[in-house]
């Protein structure tokens, strides 16, 4: 299933794979798992297996049919680098992204070790951004793995941020997104963690995007940090670019 997206830092989603398994504390309250269960109950055929990893081969060529350029989040309902996704299938996904050069694709993974291991077997056109999720200091090693990947844009999704990142190394990183956890059971995010990351980004001249405070009612808590909305993105890559002061 592909659709326009309400995610603040992208325009659309494309899911050539669905389903995943939990590997770290950031996965505890997985929104994709909850959504997959609902879609299965509604009879949506792509979620006939619920949240089990499923290759959706009929979705592979979908971006080639989109005429208007899009900023596309790849696998919002899965992790492309999950061990159950064969390397040759990942290569097919990358081949489609390479062909669909009018779009910009944002790929995000928690499996940074596998990403680094097979990066040399993948094409890295300029329209493919590669990111890793880092929820606390315990998994900051994922950033070191990402640094070894020859993507034109390497980015961090620091969401759900459930701990401070005082020693964030932004060398070779082109963008950082921060967000609090939302929904039932959401864990709190300390505003000082967010400010510390923002300040580190500004010192390193890395675009900073603040997605949300989160909580049970994320619409109520909003997106403002210190009186403004932070929508910085890599220059020339779509979306709204707010210049750093």
Residue 239 has pLDDT above 50, yes or no: no
For 176-193, write each residue's pLDDT tens digit. 999 999 998 999 999 999
Q: How confident is the model at residue 236 (pLDDT cuts 50, 70, 90)?
A: low
Please tell me the distance from the alpha carbon of residue 230 to that of residue 221, in angstroms, as a whole number.
15
Please tell me the distance from the alpha carbon of residue 154 to that of residue 143, in angstroms, as a whole number.
9
Please tell me the distance from the alpha carbon of residue 227 to that of residue 148, in angstroms, as a whole number.
36
Residue keyed to tokens 């996904």: 93
Mean of the per-residue pLDDT values for the chain? 94
* Contact predicate 155/127, CB 8 Å: no
For 138-159, write each residue's pLDDT tens digit. 999 999 999 999 999 999 999 9
For 65-118, write each residue's pLDDT tens digit. 999 999 999 999 999 999 999 999 999 999 999 999 999 999 999 999 999 999
For domain 3-221, which CATH number applies: 3.20.20, 1.25.40, 3.40.50, 3.30.70?
A: 3.20.20
Count of residues making up the chain:
245
Please tell me the distance from the alpha carbon of residue 174 to that of residue 128, in angstroms, as a whole number.
13
H helix intervals, the chain: 31-41, 87-99, 112-118, 141-147, 191-204, 218-221
The CA R_g of the chain, rounded to the nearest whole Å, is: 17
For 10-25, write each residue's pLDDT tens digit. 999 999 999 999 999 9
* Contact predicate 181/162, CB 8 Å: yes
> At 105, phi and psi to the nearest 5?
-110, 135
- Ordered by start, the domain boundaries in the chain are 3-221
């Amino acid at each position: 299933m592909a659709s326009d997206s309400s995610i603040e830092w992208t325009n659309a989603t494309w899911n050539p794979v669905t389903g995943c398994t939990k590997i770290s504390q950031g996965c505890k309250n997985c929104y994709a798992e909850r959504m997959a269960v609902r879609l299965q109950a509604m009879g949506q055929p792509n979620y006939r297996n619920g949240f089990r990893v499923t290759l959706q081969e009929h979705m592979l060529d979908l971006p080639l049919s989109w005429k208007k350029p899009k900023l596309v989040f790849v696998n919002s309902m899965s992790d492309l680098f999950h061990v159950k996704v064969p390397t040759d299938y990942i290569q097919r996904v990358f081949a489609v992204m390479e062909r669909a050069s009018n779009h910009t694709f944002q790929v995000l993974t928690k499996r940074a070790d596998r990403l680094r291991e097979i990066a040399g077997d993948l094409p890295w056109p300029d329209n493919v951004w590669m990111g890793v999720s880092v929820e606390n200091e315990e998994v900051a090693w994922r950033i070191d793995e990402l640094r070894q990947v020859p993507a034109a844009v390497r980015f961090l999704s620091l969401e759900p941020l459930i701990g401070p990142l005082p020693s964030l190394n932004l060398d070779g990183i082109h963008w950082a997104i921060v967000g609090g956890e939302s929904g039932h059971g959401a864990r709190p995010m300390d505003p000082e963690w967010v400010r510390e990351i923002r300040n580190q980004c500004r010192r390193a001249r890395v675009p900073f995007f603040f997605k949300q405070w989160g909580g049970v009612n994320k619409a109520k808590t909003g997106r403002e940090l210190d009186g403004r909305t932070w929508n910085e993105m890599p220059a020339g890559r779509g979306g709204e670019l707010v210049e750093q002061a």
